[in-house]
């Protein structure tokens, strides 16, 4: 979807919470973003929200509230029900949500070694570099 809308894009901005799978401390998160940068040729800028500020996350603020309203009072009995309710979420300002169930199996217990971390092309910002950084594509990958 992004390549169709922005074929000339050279950068991608990702905003993320500080906790969970996309934590600022997660080595796997950074390594996988590096793989994405390498595959797409995009510089990926990451900005993590400071602790206690997830309310600033536009996805949570502008999307999840409408999803909650859409499935209010309906039993969430299975994955298909959840995905269908998410996928039919709209609002009066033109919000349309696309959703699909991902049935792929993912490996657990994946770790990234300090050596692998050293191979990342990760450029930290001067101010709060743990929370704001850019992953630059590696041309040799």
Residue 141 lies in a domain: no
Domain count, the chain: 1
Question: What is the DSSP track for 20-58?
Answer: GGG-TT-HHHHHHHHHHHHHH--EEEEEEPPTT-GGG-H
Low-confidence ranges of the chain (pLDDT < 70): 1, 141
pTM summary value: 0.78
- The H or E element containing residue 124 is strand 122-124
Q: What confidence score (pLDDT) does residue 2 get?
A: 77
Q: Rounded to whole angstroms, what are the CA distances from 37 to 10, 12, 24, 34, 134? A: 10, 9, 17, 5, 10
Q: Which domain holds residue 117?
A: 2-135
Q: Is 63 inside any structural domain? A: yes
Q: What is the pLDDT of residue 1?
A: 63
Does 140 fall in a domain?
no
pLDDT score recorded for residue 52: 78
- Report if residue 98 sits inside a domain: yes
pLDDT at 53: 79
Residue 111 pLDDT: 94
């Amino acid at each position: 979807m992004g390549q169709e809308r922005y074929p000339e894009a050279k950068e991608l901005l990702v905003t993320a919470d500080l906790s969970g799978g996309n934590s600022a401390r997660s080595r796997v998160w950074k390594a996988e973003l590096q793989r994405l940068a390498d595959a797409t040729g995009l510089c990926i800028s990451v900005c993590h929200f400071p602790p206690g500020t997830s309310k600033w996350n536009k996805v949570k603020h502008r999307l999840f509230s409408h999803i909650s309203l859409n499935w209010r009072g309906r039993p969430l009995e299975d994955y298909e029900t959840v995905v269908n309710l998410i996928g039919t979420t709209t609002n009066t300002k033109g919000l349309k949500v696309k959703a699909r169930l991902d049935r792929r199996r993912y490996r657990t217990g994946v770790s990234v070694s300090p050596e692998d971390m050293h191979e990342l092309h990760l450029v930290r910002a001067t101010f709060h570099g743990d929370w704001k950084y850019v992953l630059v594509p590696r041309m040799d990958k």
